[in-house]
Structure formats: C-alpha cells, structure tokens
C-alpha cells in the first residue's frame, strides 16, 4: 500500500458531478489517499500551494505520489489504482490521462512540444490517440513514432521529439525522487510584435510548464488513454469516444514562424 497526496484545486469550490465522489470515496481500494482541496481564482497559485503542502508533509506521512484532479473532471472508480499500476508497469515518473478539450473538435489537452519559445507543435486529437496502432500509454518518442506511422489524414511528418506536454487535470507524479523538490507550476504569457507591426499573444499553461519542467529535471513523462474520464462543461466530453465532427489532425506548428521584432516574455528555464 502506498500513500498518495491528492490535490484538488478549484476556482471557487465548485466540483462537477462525479468529481467529489471520485476524490473522496472511490479514488482507490489498494492505497491510502489524502484528498486536499484548495479554492482560489489564481489556479497556478493554488496548484503550487497544494504541491508545497505535499512536500512539507511528505516525510511525516510517507507520500510517494502527488496526484491531481481538476474540479471539472470525473474519472472512473479507482482511477488512482489504475494510474499507479500503469505508471509502474511502464516506468513513468509522471503519468497524465489524455482528456479532450470542451469542444466538438475533439482535440485533447496533450500537446507535442516544439522546442521553440512556447513549445507547442500541436495537440493530439481523439482520432489519433484512439487509432488501433497508437500505444495506450506513451512517452514523447512513442507518440512521435506513432504519429509518423499513422495513415492519412491522421499521420504527421517530422514530429519533434523534444517534450510531451501533458495536462495535469488527472495526473500522478512521483514525490520520492531527487528532482521532486524542484517541481513547479508556472504560467508564461507574452505579447509579440512582428515586423509588419501586428501583435500576437502567446502563452504556455501551468500544465504544460509543469510536465516540461519535470522532464527537464529527469522524470519520464507519459500519457495514457487506459483510464476513462469525462471533462464536464456545459456538456460531457468523455475521453473514450468522439463524434463525426472530430478534427482528423491538428498537429501543426503553432509557434510564430516569422522574425520577431520585439517580444516580452520570461525565459523558460528549469
């Protein structure tokens, strides 16, 4: 039996149907889970508060994993058990459940890193991750190999093998590694002025930064479709099915390709 700190950030204390039960009643039947909620409009700050709380209590309570469940995600019963089993079977240090965005396009919250300033090459789609040859649990190299081997129009050529940018909405990460003390949530935003005088905004979410930083520190970052979860908004968006409007392929370079005249941003460093 392992002890897991379960972080439950929310904007205002609201939780979707199924979330509270999953967090407090059906998270596990094999391990001991300590659910800790934190509300606040500064989500990045709430995430860091929860991480700091887990690190401060790690020695006293023997926490081996830091888990996170966002307030708008309802996972299947005993999701913690399934995630830990999957992580240990594949040697994952950070494991994230692939979740669709709240959109009929069926893009997911899992992104391929580009290695450029804001690192986003393109999001994986539901059609791609559920294609029969795509691995159920994958790291950046496995994802890149799978994308390059998919048939048209799902396939993507020359996929960068820089980083797998994972969502933290339903995630576990090890707390018992030397690099665990250096984990951090951080959101980056910038406004760019191009040579033609126009402006473009760019951002890197706290989720993507967290998984990128974990990988830079030495963690093996993986994502999985083995755990069923539903993203709840005005409608339900389950991660195990998609409709006919799903985009076939959105893995395209999203960074600014033209020369930047002026930019303001915080350098991305480990």
pLDDT one digit per residue (tens) for the chain, 270 residues: 899 999 999 988 888 888 889 889 999 999 999 999 999 999 999 999 999 999 999 999 999 999 999 999 999 999 999 999 999 999 999 999 999 999 888 899 999 998 776 778 999 999 999 999 999 999 999 999 999 999 999 999 999 999 999 999 999 999 999 999 999 999 988 887 877 888 888 888 999 999 999 999 999 999 999 999 999 888 888 999 888 778 888 887 766 555 455 545 444 455
DSSP letter at 161 equals -
Looking at residue 266, what is its pLDDT? 47
Pairing between β-strand 94-97 and β-strand 221-224 as defined by DSSP bridges: parallel
Q: Are 156 and 150 in contact (CB under 8 A)?
A: yes
- And the tokens for 228? 């069923």
* Max CA distance (Å), the chain: 60
Distance of alpha carbon 67 from alpha carbon 69, whole angstroms: 7
What integer pLDDT is reported at residue 234 of this predicted model? 83
Place of tokens 């960074």: 255
Give the pLDDT of residue 256.
57
Give the phi and the psi of residue 240 in degrees, each rounded to 5. Answer: -115, 10
H-assigned helices in 6-150? 19-24, 43-61, 79-90, 126-129, 140-149
pLDDT, position 244: 79
Q: What is the pTM of this model?
A: 0.93
| Per-residue buried b or exposed e for 175-204, using 16+ beta carbons within 10 Å of the residue's own CB | bebeebeebbbbbbebebeeeeeeeeebeb
Q: What is the pLDDT of residue 269?
A: 53
**Domains in the chain, please, with CATH?**
3-264 (3.90.550.40)
Task: Determine contact, residues 46/9, Cβ cutoff 8 Å.
Answer: yes
Distance (Å, whole) CA 229 – CA 98: 9
- C-alpha 227/C-alpha 99 separation (Å) is 10
């Amino acid at each position: 039996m392992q002890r897991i700190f379960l972080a439950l950030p929310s904007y205002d204390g609201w939780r979707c149907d199924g979330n509270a039960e999953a967090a407090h009643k059906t998270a596990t039947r094999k391990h001991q889970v300590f659910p800790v909620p934190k509300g606040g409009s500064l989500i990045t700050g709430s995430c860091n508060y929860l991480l700091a709380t887990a690190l401060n209590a790690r020695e006293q309570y023997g926490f081996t994993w830091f888990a996170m469940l966002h307030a708008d995600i309802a996972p299947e019963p005993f999701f913690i058990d399934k995630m830990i089993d999957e992580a240990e079977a594949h040697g994952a240090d950070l494991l994230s459940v692939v979740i669709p965005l709240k959109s009929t396009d069926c893009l997911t919250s899992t992104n391929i890193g580009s290695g450029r300033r804001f690192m986003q090459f393109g999001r994986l789609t539901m059609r791609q991750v559920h294609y029969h040859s795509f691995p159920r649990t994958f790291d950046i190299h496995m994802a890149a190999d799978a994308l390059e081997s998919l048939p048209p129009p799902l396939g993507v050529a020359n996929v960068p093998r820089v980083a797998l940018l994972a969502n933290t909405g339903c995630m576990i990460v090890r707390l018992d590694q030397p690099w665990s003390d250096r984990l951090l949530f951080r959101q980056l935003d910038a406004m760019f002025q191009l040579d033609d005088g126009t402006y473009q905004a760019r951002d890197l979410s706290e989720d993507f930064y967290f998984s990128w930083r974990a990988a830079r520190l030495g963690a093996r970052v993986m994502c999985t479709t083995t755990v069923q979860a539903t993203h709840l908004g005005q409608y339900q968006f389950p991660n195990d099915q998609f409709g006919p409007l799903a985009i076939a392929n959105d893995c395209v370079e999203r960074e600014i390709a033209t020369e930047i005249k002026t930019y303001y941003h915080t350098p991305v460093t480990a």
